[in-house]
Structure 1
Amino acid sequence: MSKEEARARVEAVFNAASDYFDAPALSFWNRFGQQTIDHLALCPGDRVLDVCCGSGASAIPAAVRVGSTGQVLGIDLAESLLQLARDKAQQQGLENIKFQAGDFETLGFPDESFDAIVCVFGIFFVPDMQAAVRELWRMLRPGGKLAITSWGERVFEPANRVFWDAIAVERPELVKSFTPWDRIRCPDLLRGLLEESGVTQIEVFTEMGTHDLTTPEDWWTMCLGGGYRGTIDQLDSAAKERVRQANLQFLRTYQVHALEVDVLYAIAQKSEV
């Protein structure tokens, strides 16, 4: 798949997923976005770039942290998600934040333009992750910090496995042999990506936690509001309903009330020298 095809695919999936992206069942976006910003220790007046910003889960907390003298720019491919972000920022009265559609690999900002750069659950969608990280690092000022957040070894298990098993019954050709974040699914791989991209002073944190389900239906809402949507939308209505029922039946039968979710946070600081 070419870079242009990959870009178009991600854009289409997340524009489609925008109808459920901010549903309460997907509160993990805000949780992990906030925790990414907490790791950065931003200061009032900082200028922040948030790429793959989605509906603002990390950009909005960053805007709150940097205050009225700071600035936050959120970039994403999916215009539908950006509109959700703009609406939330407006509701919170934030005037120091702007959201725009774009490909962060070709933004063209001058060197050393930002005090902090954030990418939460997005770097793995780029075919050439090293080139993407180098571009982010180029735009970071000396002394500034880069935050990359990604999924770890276990993501929404056991429901994730059940989802793909059900897809295999209906449309085996849609089953993915690996997920995009597999390339950086453990601390050593994520650290290696950053080191190979010329990034320095790297700390990687692993969070092994859970995401609670209020009802089994929450899981299907999560599927519709995230990357699974691209697979679901390729099913006809009957197959879609069979996959949904297989997932819900498993969760009910085994009384699954929480899903395992591992998250990796990498924070790197650019040398002053």
Structure 2
Amino acid sequence: MNKETALARTEAVFNTASDYFDAPALSFWNRFGQRTIDQLALNSGDRVLDVCCDSGASAIPAAICVGSTGQVLAVDLAESLLQLGRQKARQQGLNHIEFRAGDFESLGLPDESFDAIVCVFGIFFVPDMVAAVRELLRMLRPGGKLAITSWGKNVFEPANRVFWDAIRAERPDLVKQFTPWDRIREPDALKALLEAGGATQVEVFAEAGTHTLDTPEDWWTMCLGGGCRGTIDQLDTAAQQRVRDTNLQFLQQQQIQALNVDVLYAISAKRNS
């Protein structure tokens, strides 16, 4: 798949998923976005670029940290998610954050424009991740910090496995042989990516946690509000219902009230000139 096709597909999936993206069942977006910003130690007045920003899970905490004298530029492909971010920023009176539609690899922004750059759960959608890291570092001032957050090995299990088994039973052609983040799901692989792109002082923190389900239905809401939406929408109505029923029955029978979730946080610097 070429880059243009991959970007168009990602944009379409997340524009569609925006109707559930900010549902309470998907509170993990805010949790991991906040955790990423917490590790950056931003200062008042900093300029921050947040790419693959979705609806602002990390951009809004960044805007709060840098204060009204700072500036946050939040970029994403999905205009529907950006609209959600703009609404939340207005509600919180954050006038120093801009949500802009675009591909972060071709923003055309000047060199060394930002004190910090953030990419949460997005770098793995880019075919050439090393080139993407280089472009992010180009826009970062010397001594500035780059934060990349990605999924680890164990993501939303055991429900994720059941979901894909149910998809296989309906449409084997829709089952992915690997997920985009598989390339960097180990700490060493994520560190190697950043170093290959020119980052220095790379530190990777692995966090093994859980995400609570208030009801089994929360899992299906999560599927509709994330990357799985693109697969679900390719099923006919009857097949969608069977997949949903299979997932909810499993969770109910096994009395599963939380899903495992592994996250990797990488913080790195740009070498001083």
TM-score by length of 1: 0.99
Identity of aligned residues (%): 78
Show the counterpart of 1:219: 219
SS at match of 2:190: helix
Show the counterpart of 2:3: 3
- CA–CA distance in structure 1, aligned partners of residues 83 and 131 of structure 2: 28
Show the counterpart of 2:121: 121
In the TM superposition, 1:166-177 aligns within 5 A as 166-177=166-177
Show the counterpart of 1:184: 184
SS at match of 2:61: helix
Show the counterpart of 1:158: 158
SS at match of 1:63: helix
CA drift at 1:108: 1.1
In the TM superposition, 1:54-133 aligns within 5 A as 54-133=54-133
CA drift at 1:156: 0.1
**One-letter amino acid of the counterpart of residue 51, structure 1:** V
Show the counterpart of 1:272: 272
Runs of 4+ that moved beyond 6 A: none
Show the counterpart of 1:256: 256
**One-letter amino acid of the counterpart of residue 263, structure 1:** V
- CA–CA distance in structure 2, aligned partners of residues 103 and 16 of structure 1: 18
CA drift at 1:72: 0.1
**One-letter amino acid of the counterpart of residue 151, structure 2:** W
SS at match of 1:201: strand
- CA–CA distance in structure 1, aligned partners of residues 106 and 175 of structure 2: 31
**One-letter amino acid of the counterpart of residue 270, structure 1:** K
CA drift at 1:270: 1.6
**One-letter amino acid of the counterpart of residue 36, structure 1:** T
Show the counterpart of 1:30: 30
Show the counterpart of 1:51: 51
Task: Compute the RMSD of aligned alpha carbons.
Answer: 0.5
CA drift at 1:272: 2.6
CA drift at 1:125: 0.2
- CA–CA distance in structure 2, aligned partners of residues 144 and 71 of structure 1: 15
CA drift at 1:197: 1.0
CA drift at 1:226: 0.1
8 Å CA contact 2:199–2:271 kept in 1: the answer is no
In the TM superposition, 1:215-254 aligns within 5 A as 215-254=215-254
- CA–CA distance in structure 2, aligned partners of residues 48 and 194 of structure 1: 19
Q: Per-residue CA shift, 1:8-38, capped at 9, x if unaligned?
A: 0000000000000000000000000000000
CA drift at 1:51: 0.2
What is the number of residues matched between the two proteins?
273
CA drift at 1:271: 2.5
Q: Per-residue CA shift, 1:206-255, capped at 9, x if unaligned?
A: 00000000000000000000000000000000000000000000000000
- CA–CA distance in structure 1, aligned partners of residues 269 and 190 of structure 2: 15
